[in-house]
A and B are shown apart, each in its own frame.
Chain A
Amino acid sequence: AQSVTQPDIHITVSEGASLELRCNYSYGATPYLFWYVQSPGQGLQLLLKYFSGDTLVQGIKGFEAEFKRSQSSFNLRKPSVHWSDAAEYFCAVAPYSGNTPLVFGKGTRLSVIA
């Protein structure tokens, strides 16, 4: 069965520092991968998605993610973090069957300090 692992529960970075959030997936076929962000008390907003093609995907708010099949990873990166990036980040994989929902990781909470 497909699954998503986000190894880091909580990460703290300084404002202006670079960021990398890890995501590993378990999937038998070509994965369709997503990153969502959730601000406190809000729903989830799609940051970016990967279906095929270029393995480096650009998203909104200056985020990017790189798909590495050999490592079964889809890590999210940002070169310079802003205080407003503090939120919960979820990695997800689309299932085999189209009519079933995304499979989410448990999330990584990002704190940004001055």
Chain B
Amino acid sequence: GAVVSQHPSRVICKSGTSVKIECRSLDFQATTMFWYRQFPKQSLMLMATSNEGSKATYEQGVEKDKFLINHASLTLSTLTVTSAHPEDSSFYICSARAGAGRTDTQYFGPGTRLTVL
């Protein structure tokens, strides 16, 4: 299957700092990328959907000024957690899809563990 990478895999930062997480589709062009947040022993919670070259669509309850998403190219999307606080500590997973059809598979990155001290 297709490969999606995330960087960094793990980050620890101080409260108040900003953290950028990169998501790359390595062997296909992703017209759509999704960002999820996962709490321990829970399912994935969709944060936002981003399409290349346009503004991301955020799910209800997700602060778009806090979680900045940029989908600058067909192979790269970034999530920036601004002014991070301990409650932002979580596992963040991105997913990429080549097309917009229902049969287009979503491929997932390995996740980024964010710890805010």
> Chain A: residues with CB nearer than 8 A to chain B?
32, 34, 36, 41-46, 49, 51, 90, 94-96, 98-102, 104-107, 109
Contacts and interface: CB of A to CB of B under 8 A. Distances in A.
A98 B93 contact: no
Contacts, number: 58
A98 B102 contact: yes
Nearest to A29: B102
B115 interface: no
Interface string B88-114: 000101010001111111111111010
Given A32-B103, A95-B102, A98-B101, A43 B110 contact: yes
Interface stretch (B14-22, B38-46, B79-87): B38-46
Give the most central of B91, B106, B111: most A CB within 10 Å. B106
Which of A51, A90, A105, A107 has most chain B Cβ within 10 Å? A107
Contacts of B99: 98
A102 B43 contact: no
Interface of B: 1, 4, 6, 32, 34, 41-44, 46, 49, 51, 91, 93, 95, 99-111, 113
Contact of A101 (B34, B103, B107, B111): B34
A33 B110 CA distance: 22
Contacts of A95: 102
10 contacts: A32-B103, A34-B105, A34-B106, A46-B105, A49-B105, A90-B43, A94-B102, A98-B104, A99-B49, A104-B43
A98 B100 contact: yes
A5 to B, nearest CB: 12
Contacts of A101: 34, 46, 49, 95, 106
